Amino acid sequence: MWKRLLIFLVALSFIGVGNVWAMSCDDQVSSSINGKGSVAIVPIYAADAGLTTQLEVINTSPDNSVVVKVVFRSAVYSQELLDFFVYLSPNDVWRGEVRVNAAGEVEVYSTDGSVWNPATSACASENSPFEYTLSVPTCEGDTANLGYVEFFGAWATEGEHHCSDLRSLYQDQTDGPWGIGDVLAVRANMIVGEDYIDIPVAHLTNYHPTVKLSIGQETFLGQNADSNTCEVESALALNEIDIPYNDAEGWNTLLVTTFPTKLSYDETEEEVCDGLSEKNSGPFFQQNGLATQNYGVTYTANFFDLEENTVVEQGCEISPCPEETVEALPDEVTLREIDAPFTAGWLRATFGQTTNCTNLAGENVVFSGAPVIPVVAQVSPYGMAVHVPAIEWATVTCGQGAGGAATVINGEVVTCNTNCQDTFANDNSGLLQCAIWQGQTCGDTTLICTLAQQDADLCDNTAVADLCPNVCGGTGGASTQINGVTVTCDTDCNATFAGDIPSIIQCNVWQQENCQE
């Protein structure tokens, strides 16, 4: 049964989290560390013969009734396949399942009285179950059998109100505030035969819609809310995923990655199936998505065995990416079976991207890594286990430096106020990049020109030559070292080497050859 499940999931991947937590800016959305939030994302659901996914939504507030919008999205393009509301009184729970019905369609089924059943104009019950099929995705290669689920806190009100009453109150509500507190706790598991597998769920805190959510208008994460997509991505961003694997006989390891801000399907755009939405896809994908891989996310894989031996697989580290070496996660939900060079060990998957964007306050936000929710599934002769892998949080900086300017260099956030020499004390490459960036962005060339004086070879770098013409010379940035002195096209050889005839001659000869003087 477990092997069959793995085969099913991997096959779907070729068709096209406790909780994660990252740094964020003040007063914006954050990833939860306690399993509760105002938004939740189930990173994967799956449905097939003998396989269902169960969902559970808990209102942990003892005082307030809450309305929650549930949205199902497809795995490859995040197309909305079904949406509905659940209505929870204080301490209430809604339960439902995603399954394949007798007609072979993927449906959501629930007999729980906390969901409204439009077919009977009443709340669901044992005799009147909520049974609604998911839409068939538009784009070729997409599927309704696999995807992810979003839960948006829509509205809260004091007191105990049950499904029908709460629905009426919400329908009559015209003014906010909209959203709920961080009281939503979502659980999910896959049922395989008589066994179940817990699915880690990501929760976001301090996220509130600024409009009344409805069924008629699609709800996108980071839109019509008090945190935009830039802020959501910075809250989800990870630099690194560390994945234990075992490739022995009877063992398999599967990495599941979900990118809930890619949102590439938009029926209003001319090209709805090209892997990127100009309106809805987050800034990370606009800036870093790899066009040749469905605007997927590239990473570098570094495998270790149990004895610390390693093999590095080069993904895309430097742009432009050589097509033959790119390793990418192409879909909104990608399932990747780990094909390791060793029998057992661990894999470090590193995201080397940097994203610059603007939050709703107009501040510049820079974050490293990728906005991803990772899950690892491991199949063994003893069964299947699903867990959140070890991770490294992204580096996030908000509104720092001149005009909010900031960047990420070798995993460190750099602003106009950064002391490059302290930050990159043991990293010459980082030091040079930091000094050049501050010269170009902040107008402070002191450090880069000092470094160029100490090492004339740096003037061969066009950026350095442009920033330091007095050090590197006025013609093409040419310079050299003669007896420990930097010589440029502007150097007065006689004055610089007064009394040192061999150096004066060497200086003049060099200028004649390099400066066209």
Can you tell me the mean pLDDT for 257-278? Answer: 90
Q: Left, alpha or beta for 252 (phi > 0: left; psi -120 to 50: alpha)?
A: beta
Report which residue type is found at 275. G
Can you tell me the mean pLDDT for 407-435? Answer: 86
Residue 23 has pLDDT above 60, yes or no: no
Q: Which pLDDT score is estimated for 466?
A: 84
Residue that wins the pLDDT comparison between 135 and 32: 135
Residue 402 has pLDDT above 80, yes or no: no
pLDDT averaged over every residue in the chain:
86
Give residue for tokens 């991505």. 233
Task: Assign 233 a pLDDT band (cuts: 50, 70, 90).
Answer: very high
| Distances, alpha carbon 270 to alpha carbons 267, 290, 293, 331, in Å | 8, 20, 20, 20
Can you tell me the mean pLDDT for 59-86? Answer: 97
Q: Which pLDDT score is estimated for 403?
A: 44
Q: Which of these ranges, 85-89, 239-243, 329-333, 513-517, has the smallest mean pLDDT?
A: 513-517
Q: Backbone phi, then psi, for 485, in 5-degree steps?
A: -115, 135
Q: Which pLDDT score is estimated for 27?
A: 64
Q: Which pLDDT score is estimated for 510?
A: 77
pTM, two decimal places: 0.78
pLDDT, tens only, 109-145: 999 999 999 999 999 999 999 999 999 999 999 999 9
Residues for the chain: how many in total?
A: 517
Task: Assign 9 a pLDDT band (cuts: 50, 70, 90).
Answer: low
Residue 69 has pLDDT above 90, yes or no: yes
Q: Which pLDDT score is estimated for 17?
A: 39
Task: Assign 10 a pLDDT band (cuts: 50, 70, 90).
Answer: very low
Residue 324 has pLDDT above 70, yes or no: no
Q: Which pLDDT score is estimated for 167?
A: 97
- Whole-angstrom Cα distance, residue 364 to residue 145? 39
Residue that wins the pLDDT comparison between 27 and 52: 52
Reduced to 3 states, what is the DSSP secondary structure of residue 128? coil
Residue that wins the pLDDT comparison between 159 and 427: 159
Report which residue type is found at 359. N
Q: Which of these ranges, 114-118, 307-311, 363-367, 386-390, has the smallest mean pLDDT?
A: 307-311
* Contact in structure between 25 and 232 (CB atoms under 8 Å): no
Can you tell me the mean pLDDT for 51-63? Answer: 97
The gap from C-alpha 441 to its chain's centroid, in whole angstroms, comes to 26
| Domain segments of the chain as ranges | 2-399, 445-517
Q: Which pLDDT score is estimated for 176?
A: 84
- Whole-angstrom Cα distance, residue 61 to residue 184? 8
Task: Assign 480 a pLDDT band (cuts: 50, 70, 90).
Answer: confident
Give residue for tokens 């800036």. 287
- Angle at which helix 428-437 crosses helix 446-454, to 10 degrees, equals 130
Comparing C-alpha atoms, which of 357, 60, 352, 328 is closest to residue 222?
Answer: 357
Residue 355 has pLDDT above 60, yes or no: yes
- Whole-angstrom Cα distance, residue 378 to residue 400? 42
Report which residue type is found at 155. W
- Whole-angstrom Cα distance, residue 259 to residue 236? 9
* Contact in structure between 459 and 446 (CB atoms under 8 Å): no
pLDDT, tens only, 270-323: 788 988 998 899 999 999 988 878 888 999 888 999 988 886 544 444 444 333
Q: Which pLDDT score is estimated for 12?
A: 47
Q: Which pLDDT score is estimated for 490?
A: 75
Residue 76 has pLDDT above 80, yes or no: yes
